[in-house]
Structures are given as C-alpha cells and as structure tokens.
Structure 1
Amino acid sequence: MERAGDAFTLVTPEDHEMVRELEKIMGQKLPKLTLEDYDYSVAAPAKPVVSQRPPRQTLAARGVKVISRPASRFQQNHRTGNK
C-alpha cells in the first residue's frame, strides 16, 4: 500500500553540504521554508560534557593500603643502564 504525505527535515547551517548532496541525488532542489517570528540568529545552548562512566576511585578511596617498596634489581639496573 502506497502512502502519501509531507516530510519535514530540520537542518542547521552545518547540514548545508548534506542537503546539496541530497538535491544532487534527487535531481531537484528541496523547498526551503523559514518560520515567521523565529530568531535564527540565536545559537543553541552548549551541551554539557557528560562522562560515559564515573571516574575511577583511587586505591585509598577503595580502602586499599598502598605500601611503597624499593625498586627491584632489574628496575634499578635498567634505569641506570648497568648490567
């Protein structure tokens, strides 16, 4: 069953190249409409940066006691170049 209707796409200035490519593929210009009483000069508010996951807790925050110890002989020799 074939359906008929209108389709509307909202685009931003960044979409200009994509719209031109679509018009090229379709072989015709897409009608462009503007809304009355809409201030097109106002930019959208910046989106806050949201981390994908919460920050990792430090070992101390997880209750793990960290004990420092001297470097192994391999690490000491590697750092100084001694063999």
Structure 2
Amino acid sequence: MLPPCYHANVTSAKRQPQVRLEEAVLEAGKAAAAARRLDFNKYVERLIIEDTTGARAAGMAATRRLIDEHGVSLDDVEQHLDAPYGQQQPGAAA
C-alpha cells in the first residue's frame, strides 16, 4: 500500500530534491538501476516506496521463509548445477 500522500495526488508534478551521495554510492545506484532497466530516478523512487510501505520488509520475510523451508533443496540443486564445473574438462591441463 502506498503512503496516503502518494495516493492523494498521483497526477501532481514531481519535485526535484537535491541529494548528495558519495561517488561510489552514486555509481552503485546507477549500476543497480541499469541492471533493472530503470532510470536512476525511478530506481530511487521505487526504493523509497518499497521502504516506506513495508513492501521491502515483506519481500525479505518471504525470502527468509523460502530459505528456511527449502534451503536444503536449493543447496542440492546448486550443487547439482555446479557439478560439471568441478570435473576435469577433456583436454585441460591437470
């Protein structure tokens, strides 16, 4: 659920706040936005909405439940998928 102020006036003009970030943080944010095929502004907006609405916490809780309930099975799948890479490849130096 979005904050009441977000619902109240969805068609309002967007504001342009000034935010100061360390260069490394800015570059990491831009890379994360690009990986999600979002522009940086949309990425930051989503992070704020997720954080202030509880969506982020709900997602983390769901992930924790998945790992708690199926972690062993996921580990087995990962080992199975990694197995070919642990074997000596034909023609490779020993």
TM-score (norm 2): 0.22
Q: Which has the larger radius of gyration?
A: 1
Which structure's residues are more often helix, by fraction?
A: 2
Q: Larger relative contact order (C-alpha < 8 A, sep ≥ 6)?
A: 2
